[in-house]
Amino acid sequence: MSEVAEAPVLMPAKRRGAQLAMLAFAVVIVMGAYANVGLALDGAIPSGMLTYGLGLGGFMLAAYLVLAKFAPWADPLILPLVTVVNGLGLVMIYRLEAAGARGASATNQLIMTGAGVVLFAITLIVLRDHRTLQRLTYTAGFAGLFLLISPLIPGLGKSVNGATIWIGFGPAIIQPAELAKIALVIFFAGYLVAKRDVLALAGRRLLFIDLPRARDLGPVLITWAVSLGVLVLQKDLGSSLLLFGTFIVMLYIATQRTSWVLIGILLFVGGAFLAGQIFDHVHARIEVWLDPGNPEFFDRELGGSAQLMQGLFAMGAGGILGTGLGQGHPYLIPLSFSDFIFPATGEELGLTGLMALLMVYALIVQRGLRTALAARDPYSKLLAGGLSFILAWQVFIIVGGVTNLIPLTGLVTPFMSQGGSALLANWILIALLVRMSDSARRPPPQAIQNEGMTQVFQR
């Protein structure tokens, strides 16, 4: 594409010192939050603060060192921002566990954070050039699809809280959709880069939009069918919305065709409407969204609004400044440490804290999108754009859901919610963004003047 050459390549500094300082600052914020919780709950600095603080600090230092060695030109902001969010999630889980929330385990989450950092490092070390992923397009596609439907395989899938989105090996259960989403974004990027010319250009004009050819609708329809399948068979509204929305946006980015977006929205709204008519669980979510305070819904055992209302009560109790860490009652919300960690944080850190948190998420997404803009080839652009968007879209779906902006669909809040699969997947996602920002910001190789036209490329 011609735009690629349009933007002159800036010569960014490495800013490794700034990154280290920011990282230290992020760890200090998290340590302060730990101290805060301990002082509020027991009137003393918690004994585990050093373990947790140094643990987190150690992991992040390791991540930094790997990054400095293997991706020295990477965006300096991404890692510190992720550290703050991940750390605050740890603090909230620690606080909820201390209050006796069933199932909350800060130790587990810290271990999974460590594992996430290890995967981050492995991804950076092994994947020296993300474009090798382009060769794995269809492999990624099949892997993603398999992961997505794996919970439906008898003997492997586990149904928790009405949604069949887990697979279990003995005591360990993982949520494959979280890993599937990365594999599928890799697939979408590779597929769309290969096919985008035909998807973008063929077709005819009807009224004021360019309609694609019917046979080019194939991939869209397949993705749509898979998304609806996830919705219907696994009762997982969140993943369904997440995947289809991401696909449509990537399609749009690749083809610049608004008609794809319109077709996608029509298909999804139509599908969701039908699903709402046919399937109780979808219908219930929409009912609850429209009138969460209704006592009938509040008292309903399955698909009721009690959890949502508890979240809203928590946020209301937090008000503008919050109750202070350790001083509210966020543990009253069912699953306060996973899906509802955002309202739980809202109670104790208040509107102020949530605005800051949303700002941090927005910054991570914008750093990712900057990487996409600065990338030098279409595949990198599409992959970075897709990964950034899926992160933003996931935050929007879950945060919008728990704050009743949109119907509630279960998804984890990236980096905050307790849950290993999501944490690991998101650390890999960040590693990919870091890898791409490294190659985007790396200065182009200089021509060696003495040797005429010969250029040396850095691998």
Residues in touch with other proteins (CB under 8 A): 1, 3-4, 6-7, 249, 252-254, 256, 293, 298, 309, 312-313, 315-320, 328-329, 332, 346, 350-351, 354-355, 358-359, 361-362, 365-366, 369, 372-373, 378, 381-382, 385, 388-389, 392-393, 395-396, 399-400, 403-405
HSE of 129, CA atoms in CB hemisphere, 13 A: 10
Question: Residue 40, Cβ neighbours under 10 Å: how many?
Answer: 17
Smallest separation (angstroms) from other proteins to the CB of 433 = 14
**DSSP per position, 355-402:** HHHHHHHHHHHHHHHHHHHH-SSHHHHHHHHHHHHHHHHHHHHHHHHH
Dihedral over Cα of 335, 337, 343, 349: its sign: positive
Which run of H or of E encompasses 154?
none
Looking at the Cβ atoms of 132 and 366, the one nearer to other proteins is 366
Smallest separation (angstroms) from other proteins to the CB of 150 = 30
Looking at the Cβ atoms of 113 and 388, the one nearer to other proteins is 388
Smallest separation (angstroms) from other proteins to the CB of 394 = 11
Q: Report d(CA 52, CA 317) in Å as an integer.
A: 28
Smallest separation (angstroms) from other proteins to the CB of 186 = 17
Smallest separation (angstroms) from other proteins to the CB of 350 = 7
Rg value, the chain, Cα = 23
Looking at the Cβ atoms of 56 and 397, the one nearer to other proteins is 397
Q: Which residues 6+ apart lie within 8 Å of 130 measured at CB?
A: 380, 383, 432, 435, 436, 439
Looking at the Cβ atoms of 110 and 392, the one nearer to other proteins is 392
Smallest separation (angstroms) from other proteins to the CB of 278 = 29
Looking at the Cβ atoms of 279 and 298, the one nearer to other proteins is 298
Smallest separation (angstroms) from other proteins to the CB of 166 = 27
Residue matched to tokens 């036209």: 453
Looking at the Cβ atoms of 63 and 390, the one nearer to other proteins is 390
Looking at the Cβ atoms of 118 and 262, the one nearer to other proteins is 262
**DSSP per position, 257-294:** -HHHHHHHHHHHHHHHHHHHHH-HHHHHHHHHHH-TT-
For residue 176, give the 3-state DSSP assignment: helix
